Chain A
Amino acid sequence: MNRKEITVFEDLLGSNKKIANELRHYLRAKGIFTINLMSSPGSGKTSLIEKLIDHLWPQHPLAVIEGDIETDLDAARIRAKGVPAWQITTGGACHLEAKMIARIIREIPEKTEFLFIENVGNLVCPASYDLGENLRFVLLSIPEGEDKPLKYPKAFLTAQGLIITKIDLLGPISFDLDKVKEEARKINPTLVIFTTSSRTGEGIKEFATYLIQQRQRFQENNA
């Protein structure tokens, strides 16, 4: 019996990246602009999507994929607004993978302009998985505290933007907004930062307008 060393040099996330690139190609051809939302559980991802729907729907057709470990509660909230939504229950897995998105991507209606993918509530693992998105946004809510960018750097490093949510709680909860922005930009100087409140509606219109502009640019680049 001979022992032999076999050189491979293969990325363990290579198969996910390959599927993500196929998704990106498919979504681009369909004119669907995709946003991957990542955050800790309870930072307001679903509420933000609900509020964005109020600004975008039905003039800008959109679809939502909800990732959770269990239940279809989030997809039901989106469907209640008349928007097509799919629930992926990972059954314990802490992140969404491109192959999970690939299973449902062809069900998304024609003429959809925006696809929101709400990742499983977790600031660690989702950061490693490309889902074929155009934009990746991290949400950080005021009650979570201002130390999250430094504690979970990869999520902030791989994102294009940060949304500081529940801004209406600024005041009752001690939170240094300037400091968190500065620390997030220490990790990723190119981060686009929004502040929102799904309760008062603050900042939602600005974010919706930004997304419309970004999609327009994406369409122009595709033309």
Chain B
Amino acid sequence: MHELSLIASLFEILEAQKAEKGFTKITAIKLRCGVFSGVVPECLEAAFEVYKKDTFASEAKLILEVVPVKFRCRRCQQIETAYDLPFFCPVCQSKDVEILDGTELTLVSFEAEI
């Protein structure tokens, strides 16, 4: 349950954005969450609900976009996506894959009242 730490990091980024851009209120936040980010979306949402109280994002809704893992087969260079383990190349069956995407937790954008 490190989702609260991640939400604290989210608010650090938003605070810096607020200082730079000078908005008063945030109404929506879009996060991209890889299926292999180690995050449980429900826990992230619960942590957000707790953390946002009495802040400039108290009325904001959290929009989570869950993205699959994207990997490249090191043997035949095929690029594939998957939602579940084990990751293996459907073309040559190799399990030696390089993960390109799907482990990230990214603040994509937010909507602010300016």
Measured CB to CB, the residues of A under 8 A from B are: 1-16, 93-95, 97, 124-125, 127-129, 150, 153-154, 157, 185-187, 189-190
B96 within 8 A of partner (CB) = yes
Measured CB to CB, the residues of B under 8 A from A are: 1-2, 5-6, 9-10, 12-13, 17, 21, 23, 27, 31, 36-39, 85-86, 95-96, 99, 104-114
Alpha-carbon gap, A16 to B2, bound state (A) = 13
- A4 and B112: CB pair below 8 A? yes
Chain A residues in 8 Å Cβ range of B107: 8-12
Name 28 A/B residue pairs within 8 A (Cβ), A-sorted: A1-B114, A2-B113, A3-B112, A4-B23, A4-B111, A4-B114, A5-B111, A6-B109, A6-B112, A8-B108, A8-B110, A9-B106, A9-B109, A10-B13, A11-B104, A12-B13, A12-B106, A13-B105, A14-B9, A14-B13, A15-B9, A95-B5, A97-B5, A125-B1, A125-B2, A154-B38, A157-B36, A190-B96
- B27 and A8: CB pair below 8 A? no
Alpha-carbon gap, A157 to B39, bound state (A) = 15
- B38 and A128: CB pair below 8 A? yes
- B2 and A186: CB pair below 8 A? no
